[in-house]
Amino acid sequence: YIRGDPTFTSISDEGSSSIFSEGGNGSSPLVIGGKKRGWQTEAQTGLYAASSSFHNTLRFSVCSAAIVSIMFLMVFHFEVLNKGLARHFPTGSKWTPNTWEFAMYVQYIQQIAAISALTLLKTPYFLWEFTDLFSWANFLVYRAQDDPPASGRRLTTIILGGLVGYGDRIGTSETEMMYETISGFALALGFFLGIVFGATMYNRWLEHIGEKGRRGVIWRCLGLVPLVWFFSLLPLTMTVSFEISMEFKSGMLELWPLVVAFLVLILVICGVTIVVVRILLHRTERDLRRFRSRALWGVFYADCKYGGRLFFLLVIAQHVCMGMCLGLLDDSMVILVLLVTLHVMFLVTVFLTNPFQDGTLLVKRGTYVITTVKLVNLALAFAFLPMSTLSVPGLDRVANAFIGLNSIVIIGWCIRHVLIFGKLVIASTKVEFENWNARNLQAAYDISPSSYQLAVKTRY
């Protein structure tokens, strides 16, 4: 597919797809890689078979679990620097709120979503329906709807690959994909900046009425903003590089799309990365252990040694390279080989550099396990390449293995987050009760010091 190719533009537009549609003479083309059209919507067997009720229930449950986990991880990042709660969580415990898990989880979820952007033409549609549902991880809205059945013979076979097919399945035009991703990122960023603004106004109000301010809460809220930026790296890189490649491949260079694309690459991706590197590179270990640094930038280095504080650059490079591979390249075999190479190099680098602190064994093990799961996902994806010789039942088994493995990981991980959140709620209740007792004792002392002394006197 090349934008502006007369072979494709001669086909009339329909609905949310700006590329392919039913012919006006009652005929129905065979579209591979996009949403199901015509006779494909009624198929009961083969690659076009609709998802069973079990698969539908599973995919919506798994997707919901992933969203819940993302929300919990942001809460954990916010509460990890709450000094009042720290004494209720043993140091090094596996069930303690942390900062490292967010980046690891985001990489994993976005890899599942990225499978949809590959040209895997032998993918059973029930697997695409599973991975497409994670489009929110790319700041894209899932609004897919199959075209109604149509009678008539098939005139032609049309192959939609990569992000074009992905956008067609989820109901997003490939010409609007970059703008929708940027809009989604801007909305998420604006939401969290609004939280920071609200926390600032509330703190000023507390100081105005003579109560103790909570500036620490403001910094902890501000620390959520880098999480949104990290979350946006792969989607922005993928859609921006795709837009640039389409502009140059078609020879129809438009000024504003290119300006927007290069501004995002230079300012949002490269610019912010350089700023973070400069901050972490020029600060001492003591500076990085201070509350404000940990609150704002802790997600990038909190669990690493001082000498390994720039380890996050490797994570960002892996994310950006993955996005560029998906956006720029057309050959899925090459993309899969490159992605496998990237993940293997990542594992080897982690093993050789050992950037994590000595007391963070869970971080190291989690990195190895999740990276291995991602490699297994990529290995399974090779089965769906066009040159695959597997039969339809064999492809279904591989697809079910992919869905089963990732469902177990996501649901199991969500259960872990629910348990940690439960402990967090219990700890918060204890802290609130302790503060309530302290306020009552202080009030008793203010009314009558002698009564206060009787209240706190030790009885034998």
Q: What sign results for the dihedral spanned by CA atoms 137, 139, 141, 144?
A: negative
The phi-psi region of residue 175 (left if phi > 0; otherwise alpha if psi is between -120 and 50; otherwise beta) is alpha
Question: For residues 11 and 325, which has the higher predicted lDDT (pLDDT)?
Answer: 325
Note the pLDDT of residue 233: 96
- The domain locations on the chain are 55-147+157-431
- Residues 6+ positions from 117 with CB-CB distance below 8 Å: 162, 163, 166, 238, 326
Question: For residues 130 and 162, which has the higher predicted lDDT (pLDDT)?
Answer: 130
Tokens of 266: 């230079």
Note the pLDDT of residue 296: 92
CA–CA separation, 16 vs 7, rounded Å? 19
Q: pLDDT tens digits, residue range 322-359?
A: 999 999 998 889 999 999 999 999 999 999 999 998 77
Report the chain's mean pLDDT, rounded to a whole number.
83
Percent of the chain whose pLDDT exceeds 90: 53
Question: For residues 210 and 123, which has the higher predicted lDDT (pLDDT)?
Answer: 123
Tokens of 422: 């439960």
Note the pLDDT of residue 175: 87
Is pLDDT above 80 for 2? Answer: no
Question: For residues 435 and 1, which has the higher predicted lDDT (pLDDT)?
Answer: 435
Question: For residues 392 and 12, which has the higher predicted lDDT (pLDDT)?
Answer: 392
The least confident of 306-310, 384-388, 442-446 is: 442-446
Note the pLDDT of residue 160: 75
Torsion of CA 24, 171, 63, 402, to 10 degrees: 60
Note the pLDDT of residue 53: 84
Is pLDDT above 70 for 380? Answer: yes
Q: If you average pLDDT over residues 150-178, what whole number do you get?
A: 75
Q: Is the pTM value of this prediction over 0.95?
A: no
* C-beta separation of 267 from 195 below 8 A: no
Is pLDDT above 50 for 15? Answer: no
Is pLDDT above 90 for 144? Answer: no
Question: For residues 254 and 353, which has the higher predicted lDDT (pLDDT)?
Answer: 353
Note the pLDDT of residue 41: 53
Percent of the chain whose pLDDT exceeds 70: 80
* C-beta separation of 323 from 241 below 8 A: yes
Note the pLDDT of residue 120: 87
Q: If you average pLDDT over residues 55-83, what whole number do you get?
A: 93
Q: If you average pLDDT over residues 404-423, what whole number do you get?
A: 96
Backbone dihedral angles phi then psi of residue 207, each to the nearest 5 degrees: -65, -30
Question: For residues 170 and 44, which has the higher predicted lDDT (pLDDT)?
Answer: 170
Is pLDDT above 90 for 158? Answer: no
Q: If you average pLDDT over residues 362-375, what whole number do you get?
A: 94
Note the pLDDT of residue 216: 86
Helices then strands, each counted (H, E), the chain: 18, 2
